[in-house]
Copies of this chain bind each other. A is one copy, B any other.
Amino acid sequence: MLARYFPLIGWLKAYNKHALSNDLIAALIVTIMLIPQSLAYAMLAGLPPEVGLYASILPLVAYTLFGTSRTLSVGPVAVISLMTAASISQLNLTDSSQYLAAAVLLALISGLILILMGIFKLGMLANFLSHPVISGFITASGLLIAASQLPHILGINAKGTNLFDLVLAIIGELAQTNLLTLGLGGFALAFLFWSRSGLKPLLIRLGLSAHSAGLLAKAGPVLAIFATTLTVWGADLANRNVAIVGAIPAGLPQFGLPSFDSWLFDDGLWQQLVVSALFISLVGFVESVSVAQTLAAKRRQRIEPNQELIGLGAANIGSALSGGFPVTGGFSRSVVNFDAGAQTPAAGAFTAMGIALAALFLTPLLYFLPQATLAATIIVAVLALIDLPAIKRTWQYSRSDFSAMLVTILLTLSQGVEIGIMAGVGLSLLLFLYRTSQPHSALVGLVPGTEHFRNIDRHQVETSAQLITLRIDESLYFANARHLEDRIYALIVQQPSVKHFVLMCPAVNLIDASALESLEAINHRLQDSGVIFHLSEVKGPVMDRLQKSNFLEELTGQVFLNQFAAWQALSEKM
For window 503-554 of A, CB contacts with B under 8 Å fall at 507, 509-510, 512-514, 516-518, 521, 524-526, 528-529, 541, 545, 548-550
A310 to B291, CA, bound (A): 51
| A300 closest partner in B (C-beta) | B529
Q: Is the CB of A514 within 8 A of B130?
A: yes
Q: Using Cβ atoms and an 8 Å threshold, which residues of chain B touch A492?
A: 300
A267 at the interface (CB under 8 A from B): no
Q: Determine the distance from Cα of A492 to Cα of B518 in the docked complex, in whole angstroms.
A: 42
Interface string of A371-405 (1 = CB under 8 A from B): 00000000000000000000001101110111001
Which of B128, B440, B514 is close to A131, meaning CB atoms less than 8 Å apart? B514
Q: A475 — which chain B residues lie within 8 A by C-beta?
A: 436, 474
Q: Which of B478, B482, B545 contacts A428 (CB 8 A)?
A: B478
Q: Would you call B131 and A397 a contact (CB within 8 A)? A: no
Contact with B along A190-226 (1 / 0, CB 8 A): 0000000000000000000000000000000000000
List the B residue with the shortest CB-CB distance to A132: B513
Bound CA span A526–B550, Å: 47
Contacts of A477 in B (CB 8 A): 130, 432
Q: Chain B residues with Cβ under 8 A from A393's Cβ?
A: 549-550
Q: Please state if B130 and A401 are interface contacts (CB–CB under 8 Å).
A: no
Check A14 for interface membership: any CB of B closer than 8 A.
no
Q: With the chains together, A447 CA to B57 CA distance in Å? A: 57
Query: Would you give the shortest CB distance from A129 to chain B, in whole angstroms?
Result: 8
Q: Distance (Å) between the CB of A226 and the closest chain B CB?
A: 36
On whether the beta carbons of B124 and A401 are closer than 8 Å, the reply is no
The answer to the question of A305 belonging to the interface, with a C-beta cut-off of 8 Å to chain B, is yes
* A175 close to B (CB within 8 Å): no
User: Across the interface, do B482 and A513 meet the contact criterion of CB distance under 8 Å?
Assistant: no
Residues of chain B within 8 A of A490, CB atoms compared: 302
User: Do B545 and A397 touch across chains, with their CB atoms under 8 A apart?
Assistant: yes
Q: A127 an interface residue at 8 Å Cβ cutoff? A: yes
Q: How far is the CA of A524 from the CA of B507 in the complex (A)?
A: 30
A297 contacts chain B at the CB level, 8 A cutoff: yes
Q: Please name all residues of chain B whose beta carbon is closer than 8 Å to the beta carbon of A525 when the two chains form the complex.
A: 293-294, 297-298
Q: How large is the interface on A (under 10, 10 to 19, 20 to 34, 35 or more residues)?
A: 35 or more
Does A361 count as interface, using CB distance less than 8 angstroms?
no
Interchain CB contact under 8 A, A486 and B297? no
Q: Tell me whether A231 is interfacial, beta carbon within 8 Å.
A: no
Q: CB of A485 within 8 A of chain B?
A: yes
Report if A438 contacts B (CB, 8 A).
yes
A131 near B481 with CB under 8 A, answer yes
CA distance A68 to B541 in the complex (A): 39
User: Chain B's nearest CB lies how many Å from the CB of A346?
Assistant: 22
Tell me the minimal C-beta distance from A131 to chain B in angstroms.
Answer: 4
CB distance from A124 to the nearest CB of B (A): 5
B478 near A513: Cβ-Cβ < 8 Å = no
Contact A294 B510 (CB under 8 A): no
Q: In the complex, are the beta carbons of B127 and A401 less than 8 A apart?
A: no
- Complex-state Cα separation, A302 to B490, whole angstroms: 7
Is there an interface contact between B396 and A549, defined as CB atoms closer than 8 Å?
Answer: yes
Closest to A125 in B: B430
Which A422-447 residues have a C-beta within 8 angstroms of B?
428-429, 432-440
Q: B residues within 8 A CB of A69?
A: none
A167-191 residues with Cβ-Cβ distance < 8 A to B are none
User: Which single residue of chain B is at the shortest CB-CB distance from A512?
Assistant: B401
Within the complex, the shortest CB–CB distance from A28 to chain B, in Å, comes to: 26
The answer to whether A305 touches B428 (Cβ under 8 A) is no
Contact assessment for A435 and B510 in the assembled complex, using a CB-CB cutoff below 8 Å: yes
Most buried by B among A127, A429, A475, A509: A127
Provide the A469-498 mask, 1 if CB < 8 A to any CB of B, else 0: 000011101111111011001101100100
10 A-B residue pairs with Cβ-Cβ distance under 8 Å, sorted by A, are A124-B479, A131-B518, A290-B521, A293-B521, A294-B521, A298-B525, A300-B496, A302-B490, A393-B550, A432-B478
